[in-house]
């Protein structure tokens, strides 16, 4: 067997392996199926599996972004309260700047800035002999060794890198909103309790960590719960960052398919986006129940309206 023949056979085998096999044995010829079997085959295609996986992508984004944004917010709130003037200016500038600029601008700016910044640093290290400008008109050109990720990297690396940039963008934006919420919650802790701690000989650091931080959460929780719901509603912006999320697949699968496709259908985007509506409403309902339990737990024994209601109910 000659080398071209062997290469052709290998190419055919690789193509056959890349084509997803149907979940059900009767899906070999969809044109011969009735309504329900046809629908079962249609909903179990490779693209629909990616559509179902995109729901997990959204949940993973929320699970990762929420604590990172909260950490950004806590750091920003502490910086805004700092007695060191430059740090205080930085904390207040971060909060004001991000809150004052449309979210979509930061969602597009942060990934581009981080991507080009990292590639520029790698370019300086890996290609010191490069004599062409990095900025060439509207293009940002670095050597192949400095690109992130490398063109030879597997697909999951490219997807993971894009997802990481999306997490950074969400964390920066919602961290600023969280900083504003936490700063207000810190200020809401009664000053008398801080003064009592100082009267017992506590330092400023001790009063902050032992008095202010434990009690501020009950004041911050309403704002943080609203911020969480805003974050949930903002997840469709992943589509703008190049991540194949549920909005991308709903539009891709719901669009009209002609007879040239294996599963032709008319415009079904209404049904796909209705499924997204149900998903977000369920996620919102679950979130509200969780935050309700947290509020009752944190209000226990506190001198707040929630704590007072619990005391009256116990009596």
Strand runs (DSSP E) across the chain, as ranges? 135-136, 139-140
- Provide the pLDDT for residue 191: 86
Short-list 61, 50, 57, 43, CA closest to 249: 50
Between CA 123 and CA 268 the distance in angstroms is 46
Q: Can you give the pLDDT at residue 241? A: 76
Average the pLDDT over each of 59-68, 252-261, 269-278 and give the range with the smallest value.
252-261
- 218-234: average pLDDT: 91
Judge if the upstream peptide bond of residue 149 is cis by omega within 30 degrees of 0. yes
pLDDT-derived band at 223 (thresholds 50, 70, 90) equals very high
The one-character DSSP state at 22 is P
pLDDT of 12 higher than 60: no
Q: Give the number of other Cβ atoms within 10 Å of residue 118's Cβ.
A: 15
What pLDDT does 300 receive?
64
């Amino acid at each position: 067997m000659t080398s071209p023949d062997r290469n052709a056979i290998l190419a055919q085998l690789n193509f056959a392996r890349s084509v997803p096999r149907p979940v059900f044995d009767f899906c070999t010829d969809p044109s011969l199926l009735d309504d329900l079997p046809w629908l079962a085959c249609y909903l179990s295609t490779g693209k629909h599996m990616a559509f179902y996986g995109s729901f997990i992508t959204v949940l993973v984004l929320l699970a990762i972004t929420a604590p990172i944004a909260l950490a950004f917010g806590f750091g920003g709130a502490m910086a805004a309260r700092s007695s060191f003037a430059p740090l205080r200016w930085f904390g207040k500038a971060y909060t004001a700047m991000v809150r004052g600029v449309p979210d979509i601008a930061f969602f597009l700016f942060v990934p581009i800035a981080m991507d080009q910044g990292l590639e520029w640093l790698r370019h300086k290290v890996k290609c010191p002999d490069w004599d062409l400008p990095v900025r060439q008109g509207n293009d940002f050109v670095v050597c192949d060794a400095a690109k992130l990720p490398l063109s030879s990297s597997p697909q999951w690396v490219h997807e993971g890198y894009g997802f990481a940039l999306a997490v950074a963008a969400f964390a920066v934006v919602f961290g600023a909103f969280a900083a504003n919420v936490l700063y207000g919650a810190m200020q809401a802790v009664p000053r008398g309790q801080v003064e009592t701690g100082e009267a017992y000989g506590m330092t400023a650091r001790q009063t902050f960590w032992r008095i202010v931080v434990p009690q501020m959460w009950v004041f911050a929780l309403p704002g943080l719960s609203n911020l969480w719901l805003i974050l949930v509603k903002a997840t469709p912006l992943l589509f703008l960052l190049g991540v194949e999320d549920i909005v991308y697949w709903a539009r891709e699968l719901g669009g009209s398919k002609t007879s040239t496709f294996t599963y032709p259908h008319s415009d079904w985007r209404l049904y796909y986006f209705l499924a997204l509506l149900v998903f977000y409403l369920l996620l919102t309902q679950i979130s509200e129940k969780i935050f309700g339990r947290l509020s009752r737990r944190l209000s226990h024994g506190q001198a707040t309206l929630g704590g007072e209601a619990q005391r009256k109910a116990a009596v």
